[in-house]
Amino acid sequence: MTNSDTKQIYTMGRSEGETQRLIKQSQLYDAITRNFFARAGISSGMKVLEIGSGAGDVAMIAAEMVGSEGQVVGVDVNADILNIARSRAEAAGLQNITFIAGDVRDADLDSEFDALVGRLVLMYIPEVGKAFENLLSLLNTGGIVAFQEVDMTPYTATKHPDTPVTNNLIDWTLEVFKRTGGNTAMGLDLYKLFKEAGLPDPDMHYEAPIGCSESWPGFSYVEQSFRSLLPLLVDLQIATAEEVGIDTLADRVKNEVNALKRPFFLPPHVTAYTIKSGSPDWAAELVIDLKRYAPISS
117 binds ligand SAM (CB under 6 A): no
Contact status, residue 221 vs residue 24, Cβ threshold 8 Å: yes
Q: Which of 113, 101, 104 is nearest to 137 (CA)?
A: 113
166 binds ligand SAM (CB under 6 A): no
CA angle centred on 173, ends 186 and 265, rounded to 5°: 80
| Stretch near ligand SAM under the rule CB under 6 A, chosen from 51-59, 174-182, 184-192, 234-242 | 51-59
115 binds ligand SAM (CB under 6 A): no
Q: Which of 231, 240, 239, 267 is nearest to 14 (CA)?
A: 231
58 binds ligand SAM (CB under 6 A): yes
End-to-end CA distance of the chain: give it in Å, rounded.
58
Count residues binding ligand SAM (CB under 6 A).
23
Contacting residue, 65, 77, 193, 222, with ligand SAM by CB under 6 A = 77
151 binds ligand SAM (CB under 6 A): no
Identify which of residues 208 and 212 has a Cβ nearer to ligand SAM in the complex: 208
Identify which of residues 55 and 257 has a Cβ nearer to ligand SAM in the complex: 55
150 binds ligand SAM (CB under 6 A): no
Using left for φ > 0, alpha for ψ between -120 and 50, and beta otherwise, residue 237 falls in: left
Query: Parallel, antiparallel, or unpaired: how do β-strands 71-76 and 97-101 relate?
Result: parallel
Identify which of residues 22 and 139 has a Cβ nearer to ligand SAM in the complex: 22
Question: How long, in residues, is the chain?
Answer: 298
Our measurement of the distance from residue 204's CA atom to the centroid of its chain's CA atoms, rounded to an integer in Å, reads: 14
Q: Which of 245, 244, 242, 253 is nearest to 220 (CA)?
A: 253
Identify which of residues 9 and 212 has a Cβ nearer to ligand SAM in the complex: 9
Contacting residue, 62, 72, 84, 119, with ligand SAM by CB under 6 A = 119
Identify which of residues 115 and 125 has a Cβ nearer to ligand SAM in the complex: 125
Query: Parallel, antiparallel, or unpaired: how do β-strands 47-51 and 71-76 relate?
Result: parallel
Site for ligand SAM, rule CB under 6 A: 8, 10, 22, 25-26, 52-54, 57-58, 75-78, 81, 103-105, 119-121, 124-125
